[in-house]
Chain A
Amino acid sequence: MTTSTPPTPTPSAKNPEQINPPGGAERRGIGQVLRSQLQQSLAFATLVVLIIFFSVSSSSFFTVSNISGILLSTAVIGILAVGTTFVIITGGIDLSIGTGMTLCAVMTGVFITNMGLPLVVGVIGGIATGALMGFINGFNITFLGLPPFIATLAMMLIAQGLALVISGVAPIYFAEQAFKDIALGTLIPGLPNAVLILFLCALVAYVVLSKTILGRYTFAIGSNEEATRLSGVNTRKWTILIYTVAGIFTGIAGVVIAARLGSAQPQLGTGYELQAIAAVIIGGTSLLGGRGSILGTLIGALIMSVLINGLRILSIQTEWQNVVVGIVILVAVFTDSLRRRREA
Chain B
Amino acid sequence: MSLESVGTADRSRNLSNEAGSIVTTKLLEVQGISKSFPGVQALKDVQFELDRGEVLALVGENGAGKSSLMKILSGIYTRDEGTISFEGRPVEIEGPRAAQALGISIIHQEMNLMPHLTVAQNIYIGREPRSLGGFALRERALNKKTAELLARLRIDLDPRQEVGELTVAKQQMVEIAKALSVDSKVLIMDEPTSSLTASESETLFRLIEGLKADGTGIIYISHRMEELGRIADRVTVIRDGRYVGTLAKGSFDVPTIIEMMVGRHIDENARPTAIDTHDNDVVLKVEDLSTRNFINGVSFELRRGEILGFAGLMGAGRTEVARAIIGADPRTSGTITVNGKVVSITKPTDAVRHGIGYLSEDRKSLGLLLGQTVSENILLPSLPNFSNALGFMQPAKGRNVAKRYVDQLKIKTPSVQQVTKLLSGGNQQKVVIAKWLERDCDILIFDEPTRGIDVGAKDEIYALLTDLAARGKSIIVISSELPEVLRLSHRIAVMATGRITGFLDNEKASQNTIMELATRGHE
Query: Using a CB–CB distance below 8 Å, which chain A residues touch chain B?
Result: 1, 3, 5, 9, 11-12, 14-20, 25-26, 28-29, 32, 211-216, 219-220, 222-224, 226-234, 290-291, 343
Of the A-B pairs whose beta carbons lie under 8 Å apart in the complex, a sample of 8, sorted by A's number, is A14-B199, A16-B522, A212-B135, A220-B114, A228-B125, A230-B76, A232-B126, A290-B115
Minimum CB distance partner of B197 in chain A: A17
Q: How far is the CA of A103 from the CA of B438 in the complex (A)?
A: 56
Q: Which residue of A lies closest to B96 (CB)?
A: A232
B200 within 8 A of A: yes
User: Which secondary structure dominates where chain B touches chain A?
Assistant: loop
In the complex, chain A residues whose CB is within 8 Å of the CB of B3? 1, 3, 5
- B115, A223: Cβ atoms under 8 Å? yes
Given contacts A15-B199, A32-B165, A231-B125, 9 further A-B contacts (CB under 8 A): A1-B2, A3-B206, A11-B154, A15-B200, A17-B199, A17-B522, A25-B161, A227-B113, A228-B126
Query: Nearest B residue to A229 by beta-carbon distance?
Result: B96
* Pairwise interchain contact A211-B137, C-beta atoms closer than 8 A: yes
Contact status of A17 and B161, CB under 8 A, knowing A3-B206, A224-B115: no
Distance A214 CA – B133 CA, assembled complex (angstroms): 13
A290 with B114: CB separation less than 8 A: yes
Give the residue among A15, A18, A28, A219 with the most B Cβ atoms within 10 A.
A15
Size category of the binding interface on chain B: 35 or more
CB-nearest residue of chain B to A214:
B135
A228 to B128, CA, bound (A): 13
Chain A residues near B158: list those with CB within 8 A. 25-26, 29
**Are the CB atoms of A223 and B137 closer together than 8 Å?**
no
Which residues of A lie under 8 Å from residue B165 when comparing CB positions?
Answer: 28, 32, 343
Q: Are A220 and B315 in contact, with the CB atoms below 8 A?
A: no
**B125 lies within 8 A of A233 (CB):** yes
Checking A19, A28, A224, A228 against B315 with a beta-carbon cut-off of 8 angstroms, the contacting residue is A19
Instruction: Flag if A1 contacts B4 (CB, 8 Å).
Output: yes
Q: Which of A20, A32, A223, A226 has the most CB of B within 10 A?
A: A223
Closest A residue, CB atoms, query B135: A212
Q: Determine the chain A residues whose CB is within 8 A of the CB of B117 once the complex forms.
A: 216, 219-220, 223
Chain A residue, CB-CB nearest to B522: A16
Q: A3-B206, A232-B126 are in contact. Are A226 and B160 (CB under 8 A)?
A: no
- From B4, which residue of chain A is reached at the shortest CB distance? A1
B87 at interface by CB-CB < 8 Å: no
Q: Which of A17, A213, A214, A227 contacts B114 (CB 8 A)?
A: A227
A223 to B313, CA, bound (A): 31
Q: Are A216 and B161 in contact (CB under 8 A)?
A: no
Q: Which of A1, A11, A219 contacts B213 (CB 8 A)?
A: A1
Residues on A with C-beta less than 8 A from B522 are 16-17
- Decide if B373 is an interface residue (CB 8 Å cutoff): no
Measured CA separation A211–B140 after assembly (Å): 11
Closest B-chain residue to A89, C-beta based? Answer: B116
Does any Cβ of A come within 8 Å of B10's Cβ?
no
Closest chain B residue to A234 by CB distance? B97
Q: Kindly list chain B residues whose C-beta atoms are within 8 Å of the C-beta of A230.
A: 76, 96, 108, 112
Q: Does B489 contact A (CB under 8 A)?
A: no
A129 vs B144: C-alpha distance when bound (angstroms): 42
Report yes or no: A18 in contact with B156, Cβ–Cβ below 8 A: yes
Task: Name the one of A3, A11, A17 contacting B314, with C-beta atoms under 8 angstroms.
Answer: A17
Complex contacts, A226 vs chain B, CB 8 Å:
112
> Shortest CB–CB separation between residue A142 and chain B, in angstroms?
15
Bound Cα distance from A26 to B130, whole angstroms: 26
Interface 1/0 per residue, B214-225 and A, CB below 8 Å: 000000000000
Whether B51 is near chain A, meaning CB under 8 Å from some CB there, is: no
Q: Is the CB of B161 within 8 A of A213?
A: no
Which residues of chain B are within 8 angstroms of A224 by Cβ–Cβ distance?
112-115
Contact with A along B309-321 (1 / 0, CB 8 A): 0000111100000
**Nearest 6 CB-CB pairs, A to B?**
A290-B116, A17-B313, A223-B114, A11-B156, A227-B112, A223-B116
* B238-297 interface (Cβ within 8 A of A): 294
- Structural contact, A17 and B315, CB atoms closer than 8 A: yes
Contact with A along B120-137 (1 / 0, CB 8 A): 010001101010001111
**Choice from A15, A29, A32, A223 contacting B203 with Cβ under 8 Å:** A15
How far apart sit A232 and B294, CA to CA, in the bound complex (Å)? 39
A213-B113 Cα distance, complex, nearest whole Å:
17
Please report the C-alpha to C-alpha distance between residue A29 and residue B458 in the assembled complex, in whole angstroms.
39
Nearest-CB residue, chain B, relative to A24: B158
Bound complex: CA A343 to CA B365 (Å): 14
A232–B114 alpha-carbon span in the complex (Å): 14
Please report the C-alpha to C-alpha distance between residue A234 and residue B137 in the assembled complex, in whole angstroms. Answer: 17
Contact of A12 with B96 at beta-carbon distance under 8 Å, contacts A224-B115, A227-B112 already known:
no
Q: How far is the CA of A9 from the CA of B203 in the complex (A)?
A: 13
- Indicate which residue in B126, B128, B154, B313 contacts A14 across the interface (CB closer than 8 Å): B154
**Which residues of chain B (160-217) have a CB below 8 Å from chain A?**
160-162, 165, 178, 197, 199-200, 203, 206, 209-210, 213
How far does the Cβ of B378 sit from chain A's closest Cβ, in whole Å? 24
> From B200, which residue of chain A is reached at the shortest CB distance?
A15
Given known contacts A14-B154, A232-B96, A29 and B114 CB-to-CB distance under 8 angstroms: no
Contacts of B510 in A (CB 8 A): none
Cα distance A109–B135 in the bound complex, in angstroms? 34
Any chain A CB within 8 A of the CB of B519? yes
Chain B residues whose C-beta falls within 8 Å of the C-beta of A26 in the assembled complex? 158
Q: Could you tell me the distance in whole angstroms from the C-beta of A301 to the nearest C-beta in chain B?
A: 23
The answer to the question of B68 belonging to the interface, with a C-beta cut-off of 8 Å to chain A, is: no
Chain A residue with Cβ nearest B125:
A231
Residues of A within 8 A of B206 (CB): 3, 5
For B97, B116, B178, B210, the residue with the greatest tally of chain A CB atoms inside 10 Å of its CB is: B116
Q: Which residue of B lies closest to A36 (CB)?
A: B162
Could you say which residues of chain A place their CB within 8 Å of the CB of B112?
Answer: 224, 226-227, 230-231
- Pick from B97, B135, B136, B519: contact of A16, CB below 8 A: B519
Cα–Cα, bound, A226→B111 (Å): 11
Complex CA gap A231/B165 in Å reads 21
**Pairwise interchain contact A1-B210, C-beta atoms closer than 8 A:** yes
How far is the CB of A234 from the nearest CB of chain B, in Å?
8
B127 to chain A, nearest CB (A): 8
Given A28-B161, A224-B114, A232 contacting B209 (CB threshold 8 A):
no
Q: Is B523 an interface residue (CB 8 A)?
A: yes
Q: Does B155 contact A (CB under 8 A)?
A: yes
A22 to chain B, nearest CB (A): 11
Q: Could you tell me the distance in whole angstroms from the C-beta of B71 to the nearest C-beta in chain A?
A: 9
Q: How far is it, in angstroms, between the C-alpha of A228 and the C-alpha of B130 when the chains are bound? A: 18
A243 to B383, CA, bound (A): 40
Q: How far is the CA of A187 from the CA of B139 in the complex (A)?
A: 35
Closest to A13 in B: B523
Q: Which of A12, A28, A29 contacts B156 (CB 8 A)?
A: A12
A5–B213 Cα gap in the complex (Å)? 15
User: Does B100 lie at the interface of the complex (its beta carbon under 8 Å from any beta carbon of A)?
Assistant: yes
Closest-CB distance, A285 to chain B (whole angstroms): 12
In the bound complex, what is the Cα–Cα distance between A230 and B96 (angstroms)?
6
Proximity string of chain B (60-99) to chain A, C-beta cutoff 8 Å, 1 when within and 0 when not: 0000000000000000100000000000000000011100
A9 partner residues in chain B, CB cutoff 8 A = 154
CA distance A26 to B111 in the complex (A): 25
State A168–B294 Cα separation when bound (angstroms).
70
Query: How far is B139's CA from A29's CA once the two chains are assembled, in angstroms?
Result: 16
Across the interface, B136 reaches (CB within 8 A) one of A15, A212, A219, A290, namely A212
Please give me the residue from chain B that is nearest to A222 by CB atom.
Answer: B116
Q: Look across to chain A and name the residue whose beta carbon is closest to the beta carbon of B95.
A: A232
Per-position 1/0 for B490-523, Cβ under 8 A of A: 0000000100000000000000000000010011
Contact residue among B114, B155, B523 (Cβ-Cβ distance under 8 Å from A228): B114
Residue of A nearest to B150 (CB): A11
Smallest Cβ distance from B485 to chain A, in angstroms?
16
* Contact A32 B125, beta carbon cutoff 8 Å: no
A290, closest chain B residue (CB): B116
